[in-house]
Amino acid sequence: MDKENKVLELLNVTYYYQTGEQRLTILEDACFAFERGKLYTIVGPSGCGKTTTLTLAGALENPKSGEILFHGKPLQEVGYTKYRSDKIGIVFQAYNLLPYLTPLQNLLVAMEITSNPIKDKKAYGKKLLGRMGISEDQMKRRIQKLSGGEQQRIAIARAIAADPEIILADEPTGNLDHETAGEIIAIFKELAHKDGKCVIAVTHSLFFAGEADVVVQLENKKLLPQEGQL
Amino acid sequence: MNYIKRAFHSIIFYWKNALMLCVIDTVLAALILSGITIYQSCRETGNDLKEQVLAAVTVRNAKPMESDSPIGKNQLSYDRALEAMDLLPSKLSALAYSATAGTNGLKSYRSAEQSEQYPDDGQFTVCGVSSTSDYEAFQNGEITLYQGQHITDERNRNAALISTIVASQNNLTIGDYISLDTYYEGEDTQVEIVGLYDVITTKSHTGAPIKNTENIILTTTTIVFAMNGNRQIASATFKLRQADSIRASIPDLEELFSTEPDDVIKVVVDDQDYRFLSGSIHLLTTVSQIMMVSAFLMGVISLSVLAVLSLRDREFEIGVLLAMGEHRLKVILQLMIEMLVPVLIAIGISTALSSFLSRRIIFIFITNSSILTETDSIAVLSLLIISLALIVIASIGTIFQILRFQPKKLLQKMG
């Protein structure tokens, strides 16, 4: 694996849920490296810990043991808040756009939070939304007046608005029909292959998984790569 | 799109919540501001009362008189009364009596019954007062000035006021002179009539005619001292400001006026007006304090509940912002601004309402109140500080929750 392309690395990561005396282990000494310019999908049965793995990658949770490295540097050193605001963008299954803002304003929030330098934020936001197929008219509408597919495209635009290196997506096509899901997957592929982002998506969809560069199987508390088509 | 702009967009989007908050805040702010206004007005009025509503302290010597003492013998030292002025910075009204007989055939007023009983004519009571307008009978409305002017020690040393009846039956008018003889060791003297008084409340004319109100000749203490041959007075009345502290001076007055072992110094304090008014002011002050405290507590409770409810509805939003790397402090500040804006609007509305409301509240407790209620900038500033404190206190629960929020849990909940 090309060391320079390695963006995110899980090193002997263990994570479990403790309820009283019962312990549910999700990851045990799991190791995996994610590279830029690739679309990864994490697959596995329900409840195996796919979303938990994503939250660990997003620094929304800390591993019980092991380390997560960003460009070889532990997240603790990068700083969790800085990592979240500058280095990653998250796409949620339920889109979770701020309802009191327009699509463009939602993007401006992400641009305001990040410390990454972005010139002419408004123009850049419009450009991103346009790239996602959102018209000028739709950019000014209230979020609730847009379809699920449109909202997910805006959510993706928001995730990349701060120009992060990693995009984490939790079931991004879970609420969409097959055709719209196809459009969203195409956007993710474009972000990975054209923009050089590292896109990591958790999915149940075999169709989505089949489109990924690398399918990561969460099995026996380990992350196992399956290169190429399923 | 920073947290301040987000807050304003959120207020517009959730306008129903903001409106409800604004209505609640307006009611509470109006109560607090009215409370502050009433409280301030009461304090100012209370201070004014101390300056404007005078209390009277009258000192007499109740030592039993010897049987052969002439009528109207004075038993209190005028010089001690002057000394007392240092003890009680006040206006002194001294009263000195001198029983005397009018010369030049001056006839006193007698009822038919008295004419039979007391054939001797021409006995008057001469009262020396520092200022005739301070004389008790004038003060309580028993007599009133009919013509001419009041006299004071300083201005009219040889002046006198007589009753209209005596003037009429002796064909006397203002500008005429009468001679005052004395039974004492002092000097007879002449005084000019400068005023006539009417007797409004007629007492029963029993006993010696010298005691009839109509037969009182009011003059200056200087004249009476000259007639009596000493500087003794019957009573000294001190008109005092700072009526609330007057009673503390009683022992000092008693000690000052006791010159002989058998002296019985009586000090009577008349501060009823002050006590009545200050009682009303005290009641209003208490009411205003209760208003402020209860409105503040209601504010804390209602705003806390609203903040917690609002937070529950917007957990996802906070989760998203935290997941995007927003600082918790900025999330807290956004929510506080969303609370502050309706509060500021409420302060504006309540400022306009508070003067009217304060007057209505005062009217409930004191029907004929002269307390002025104007909401000033200090009251508004106080309300602003109270409101900010209220927001901070009401936000404590919210702040605590946000600090505890785990974006991952919110993310999973949303998923």
* Residue B209: φ, ψ to 5°: -60, -25
Side chain identity at B103, as an amino acid letter? T
Quote the tokens at residue B155.
């201005």
* Residue B181: φ, ψ to 5°: -90, 165
Nearest to A60 among B6, B326, B411 (CB): B411
> Could you tell me if residue B252 is inside a domain?
no
- The tally of domains found in chain B comes to 2
Residues from chain B contacting residue A171 (CB–CB below 8 Å):
415
**Inter-residue contact A139 to A126 (CB < 8 Å):** yes
| Interface predicted TM-score (ipTM) | 0.82
pLDDT at A188: 87
* Residue A39: φ, ψ to 5°: -105, 120
Q: How far is CA B132 from the centre of its chain?
A: 25
**Inter-residue contact A104 to A126 (CB < 8 Å):** yes
Per-residue pLDDT at A230 exceeds 60: no
* Residues with pLDDT less than 50, chain B: none
CB contact under 8 A, B12 and A101: no
Cite the beta strand spans of B181-328 per DSSP E. Answer: 189-199, 216-220, 232-233, 235-240, 265-270
Residues from chain A contacting residue B324 (CB–CB below 8 Å):
84-85, 90, 109-110, 113
Quote the tokens at residue A149.
């597919």
Among the three residues B240, B266, B291, which one is the final residue of a domain in this structure? B240
What are the residue ranges of helices labelled H in chain A?
50-57, 75-78, 80-82, 103-113, 121-131, 136-139, 148-161, 178-193, 206-211
Q: CB atoms < 10 A from the CB of B399, how many? A: 18
Q: Which has the minimum average pLDDT: A86-90, A154-158, A189-193, B273-277?
A: B273-277
pLDDT class of A229 with cuts at 50, 70, 90? very low
For A122-172, give the DSSP string.
HHHHHHHHHHTT--HHHHTS-GGGS-HHHHHHHHHHHHHHT--SEEEEEST
Do B162 and B202 sit in the same domain of this protein? yes
Count, in order, helices (H) and strands (E) of chain B. Answer: 13, 12
If we measure between CA atoms, which residue out of B201, B194, B214, B196 comes closest to residue B146? Answer: B196
Residues from chain A contacting residue B406 (CB–CB below 8 Å):
60-61
Do B45 and B60 sit in the same domain of this protein? no
Among the three residues B196, B224, B240, which one is the final residue of a domain in this structure? B240
Among the three residues B212, B240, B268, which one is the final residue of a domain in this structure? B240
pLDDT at B192: 93
Residues from chain B contacting residue A93 (CB–CB below 8 Å):
414-415
pLDDT tens-digit map of B323-351: 888 888 888 889 888 888 888 888 888 88
N-term to C-term CA, chain A: 21
Residue in the structure block whose two tokens are 């939304």: A129
> Could you tell me if residue B255 is inside a domain?
no
Q: How far is CA B218 from the centre of its chain?
A: 31
> For residue B171, what are the domain limits?
55-240
CB contact under 8 A, B415 and A92: yes
Long-range contact pairs involving B272-277 (C-beta distance under 8 Å, separation at least 24): B273/B53, B273/B55, B274/B49, B274/B50, B274/B53, B274/B54, B274/B55, B274/B243, B274/B244, B275/B243, B277/B49, B277/B53
pLDDT tens-digit map of B266-293: 888 888 888 888 888 888 888 888 888 8
Residue B9 CA to residue A205 CA, distance in Å, equals 37
The domain limits of chain A are: 36-59+84-227
Helix (H, G, I), strand (E, B) or coil at A37: coil
N-term to C-term CA, chain B: 26
> Could you tell me if residue B268 is inside a domain?
no
Per-residue CA distances from A27 to A30, A201, A224, B217 (Å)? 6, 17, 12, 115
Residue A74 CA to residue A69 CA, distance in Å, equals 4
> Could you tell me if residue B260 is inside a domain?
no
Side chain identity at B306, as an amino acid letter? L
Residue B158 CA to residue A54 CA, distance in Å, equals 110
> Could you tell me if residue B256 is inside a domain?
no
**Helix, strand, coil percentages in chain B from 3-state DSSP, rounded to 5:** 55, 20, 25
Quote the tokens at residue B389.
């404190």
Q: What is the DSSP letter of B258?
A: -
Beta bridge partners, A90, equal: A168
Helix (H, G, I), strand (E, B) or coil at A34: strand
CB pairs under 8 A between A and B: 76
CB contact under 8 A, B324 and A109: yes
pLDDT tens-digit map of A3-47: 677 899 999 999 998 888 888 888 899 999 999 999 999 998 888
> Could you tell me if residue B262 is inside a domain?
no
Per-residue pLDDT at A228 exceeds 60: no
Name the closest residue on chain A to residue B328, using Cα atoms. A81
**What is the pTM for the complete model shown?**
0.64
* Secondary structure element (H or E) that encloses residue B57, with its range: strand B55-61
Beta bridge partners, A10, equal: A32, A68
Do B329 and B228 sit in the same domain of this protein? no
Do B363 and B231 sit in the same domain of this protein? no
How close does chain B come to A3, measured CA to CA in Å?
A: 27
Do B61 and B35 sit in the same domain of this protein? no
Name the closest residue on chain A to residue B406, using Cα atoms. A60
> Could you tell me if residue B23 is inside a domain?
yes
pLDDT at B214: 92
Do B82 and B204 sit in the same domain of this protein? yes
Per-residue CA distances from B3 to A165, A186, B343, B393 (Å)? 25, 33, 18, 21
Do B101 and B137 sit in the same domain of this protein? yes
Angle between helices A121-131 and A148-161 (to 10 degrees): 140
Name the closest residue on chain B to residue A114, using Cα atoms. B325
Do B327 and B183 sit in the same domain of this protein? no
Helix (H, G, I), strand (E, B) or coil at A13: strand
pLDDT at A149: 82
Residue B294 CA to residue A41 CA, distance in Å, equals 59
Residue A72 CA to residue B215 CA, distance in Å, equals 118
Helix (H, G, I), strand (E, B) or coil at B268: strand
How buried is B346 (Cβ within 10 angstroms: 0-12 exposed, 13-18 middle, 19+ buried)?
buried
> Could you tell me if residue B110 is inside a domain?
yes
Q: CB atoms < 10 A from the CB of B112, how many? A: 8
Q: What average pLDDT is seen over chain A?
A: 87
- Domain A36-59+84-227 is found in CATH 3.20.20.220: no
pLDDT tens-digit map of B242-252: 777 778 888 88
* Residue B303: φ, ψ to 5°: -65, -35
Residue in the structure block whose two tokens are 């984490």: A168
Nearest to A55 among B1, B10, B411 (CB): B411
Do B180 and B232 sit in the same domain of this protein? yes
Do B87 and B35 sit in the same domain of this protein? no
Do B102 and B236 sit in the same domain of this protein? yes
**Inter-residue contact A109 to B330 (CB < 8 Å):** no
Side chain identity at B412, as an amino acid letter? Q
Do B220 and B309 sit in the same domain of this protein? no
Beta bridge partners, A100, equal: none
If we measure between CA atoms, which residue out of B320, B316, B315, B408 comes closest to residue A91? Answer: B320
If we measure between CA atoms, which residue out of B57, B62, B70 comes closest to residue B258? Answer: B62
